[in-house]
Structure 1
């Protein structure tokens, strides 16, 4: 009897171990898939912080995520008279920092040459500001002060203090800096790590010593907002593109939820002549690729919906938000999702409401629609994602001016602004990451409804 009990315990233990091994294997597979799907996004997000995202070999290490540099950026920004998180160089303030070099044994110790360059704001449209004032014309560079000198093995390490004072009555948002040292003199450390080391290590460059912590970390993200603006209206284009995308997306989401829920409920619950034929027609429209109806839709908008807009004093709907919105008020797939969900709800609730004297509209608005939150949540995510990322149709409809562009079309213009010739990939990556954030935030907020809606939409009662 005891032997039988021990044997049973061994079997149960093996079953538990095998169960835990299976669970561990499943979690490992899910982890690998999450790394494969999210790894590229995370790598792009980190690379968007780098000064040179195309540096080789690719690495996740970046100076912008170093706590040491955060402290340095905060300290220098405060010295400039601004806040530690958002800095500036104000009148009468002095900015000083330390830097250490390694000189070869026997080499002549020469302090670095300090230059405040005339530097334009990147390679975007802001680089055309030829009439702007440069900080180099108003600041004074103090003589370089040697702080310490130590001998280590076959080299000499020398630390310097570099100070720059704004002796003018003007305030500036940036303080670029270049340091020149002789050949074979190696840079070791500084209060704030340089953005670039060029010319075989002889030049160390800083984009802005007094930027503050936030602009230092998100340098490329600030560039896409500040370097792209309209020459005609003066508006910042990137912020305008985001507003246009939100405006169009929110309107299309609201119209889709309204029309799809009403049409889905009518097809699922109401009895009228031709209901099944209408549903078949909706299914058939889902099978037709968008490329087939592209030309016809374009001609309809060009002629103002068969000329009806001319009756109200309008004209063509091309190059207007109205045409872009009308062409996508609701989709057949949205109606299908809502119909399937409503069919999965029990009819007893409607019958009880009718006995109590509720009308069809009251049943729909007060009973069925609140129960449809999972499907509406899933539909919100799918519609928002589809409209927000829509590219080809807005590219054809909206042509000019650039103030009317959506974010996806605006990002296309970055190819000419930053990529062609300049190979400045930082702002392009930053713009792509910013465009993905609303989708991620929306999915995090509505993920519970998305999972419930995806599971319920295929159930039929």
Structure 2
């Protein structure tokens, strides 16, 4: 009797889902993917928005970090516009001009058993910032303005104390008048009008047109950097300062514009040079078969693994011998080909050969095929390379720091931010100005990406690189 062989196992048939269930599963997967991208975008945009909000603050490092402050308060904008109009006839940027009379009111509160005394008011001889700003200061409001109490009025209010019990508090409003002195009517227009108020700790400031810039001596001394700011002067004070106070000490000319112009010139030059070299080299590696082409391609790949810090000494010596140091050309030519060549090579390899062969049959040369047929169809790849090259050049810090050291007007914006940190950060702690400068430096790249980001994922480019 022969042993029976076991029957082969037949795999169970996969159950086919109904069309409705399959559609719901696809929609669920798409929804989860969309939510994941939305979460990432929210984090990125939230970080960007938080940085912008912090750049408006007098003290970006304050703890706890407040989201709502005068620069985001419409009521403070209106008050700042009124003060700027009274101070210099300019509701937007404010100031203090000859003939000005400015009313500035403050309200103090104290328990019913205490006595509210008039705060001691003075316009201090205060430098507007630190570092370069202190050296550039020429005119002080204290030399041209006077302050006097014009009126005061008392009232009462109901409020809870620290223990939560409801109590009656007394309040007193003091109205001060800041006047441009009559004996200085031919004086200059002054950008800032600082104010100090000193009062006992038993009374607390509860209202003022704009909030004080800082509180010192356990709340006894309240300081305003500028009581005539104007609406835009209040909101964008750090941005105005980074433009006006980053200046050459010899000429007094603002350096930020020069830094932005230098960076734009370098980024544009590197963009053009990168597109020329990447397109020519990429097409040669993709289409031309010559001896050593594979070795050249391997060398290009290997060069991408070498950090710039390894070769910067030899590059520095070469550029020095060519007399290119402290010129934009040194930064433009030092780094123009790497991944851009590989990206163009991949695109050209996916371009149909039949189109090129048809052009050759019609009598076109290889260069004519490249210029008139291949390049016009490579616009998505060229645009992506342009964005990457511009962004890399704009954010480049190492090579400009090494190759461009003088004069101050020749620096790029990234190296200029380092000088801002040295002049206004650190011990000075003027981080609002530093953060405003950093935010200005990233705006051009963000605008460029927002305008052209759809080309990065364009269908034509995706087909060309598959």
TM-score calculated relative to the size of structure 1: 0.87
Question: What is aligned with 1:155?
Answer: 169
**Whole-Å Cα distance in 2 between the matches of residues 264 and 457 of structure 1?**
17
Q: Match of 2:315? A: 297
Label 1:69 to 1:322 Cα distance change in 2 as closer, same or farther (>3 A).
same
Matches within 5 A, 1:172-321: 172-304=190-322, 316-321=323-328
1:49 aligns with 2:63: no
Q: 1:165 aligns with which of 165, 176, 179?
A: 179
Cα distance change on mapping 1:13 and 1:75 into 2, 3 Å: farther
* Residue number in structure 1 paired with 2:115: 108
Give the equivalent residue in structure 2 for 1:441. Answer: 447
Aligned partners of 1:141 and 1:164 also within 8 Å: yes
- Given that residues 49 and 220 in structure 1 are in contact (C-alpha distance below 8 angstroms), is that contact kept between their aligned partners in structure 2? yes
Is the CA contact (8 Å cut-off) linking 2:136 and 2:252 kept in structure 1?
no
Name 1:361's counterpart in structure 2. 367
Structure-2 residue corresponding to 1:3 = none
Q: What is the rounded CA distance, in whole Å, between the counterparts of 2:246 and 2:311 in structure 1?
A: 35
Take 1:340 and 1:113, find their aligned partners in 2: how far apart are those partners?
Answer: 74
SS of aligned partner of 2:107? strand
1:7 maps to none
Q: Which residue of 2 aligns with 1:6?
A: none
- Residue 18 of structure 1 deviates from its aligned partner by 5.4
- Cα contact 1:375–1:452 (8 A) shared by 2: no
Q: 1:428 aligns with which of 430, 434, 452?
A: 434
Tell me if structure 1 keeps the 8 A contact 2:56–2:235: yes
Q: What is the DSSP-based 3-state SS (H/G/I as helix, E as strand, rest coil) of the residue aligned with 1:239? A: helix
**Is the deviation greater in 423-432 or in 319-328?**
319-328
Structure 1: distance between partners of 2:437 and 2:150? 39
Q: Distance between the aligned counterparts of 1:134 and 1:284, measured in 2?
A: 61
> How many equivalent residue pairs?
438
**RMSD, aligned CA:** 2.6
Show structure 2 runs of 5+ residues with no match: 1-16, 159-166
> What is the CA–CA distance in structure 2 between the aligned matches of 1:157 and 1:454, rounded to whole Å?
71
Q: Distance in 1 between matches of 2:263 and 2:124?
A: 38
Aligned partner of 1:402 among 408, 419, 422: 408
What SS is found at the alignment partner of 2:116?
coil
Using the size of structure 2 for normalisation, the TM-score is 0.86
Following superposition, the deviation at residue 317 of structure 1 comes to 2.7
CA distance in 1, matches of 2:210, 2:169: 23
Paired residue secondary structure (2:247): coil
Q: Which residue of 1 aligns with 2:87?
A: 80
Q: In the superposition, relative to structure 1, how do residues 22 and 187 fare at CA in structure 2: closer, same or farther (>3 Å)?
A: farther
1:369-388 matches, within 5 Å, as 369-388=375-394
Secondary structure of the residue aligned to 2:93 is coil
Maintained 8 Å contact 2:270/2:393: yes
Give me the whole-angstrom Cα distance separating, in 2, the residues matched to 1:457 and 1:424: 51
Say if 2:147 and 2:178, in contact at 8 Å, map to a contact too.
yes
Alpha-carbon distance between aligned partners in 2 of 1:385 and 1:275, rounded to the nearest angstrom: 30
| Equivalent-residue separation in structure 1 for 2:433 and 2:459 (angstroms) | 37
Q: How far apart are residue 261 of structure 1 and its match? A: 1.6
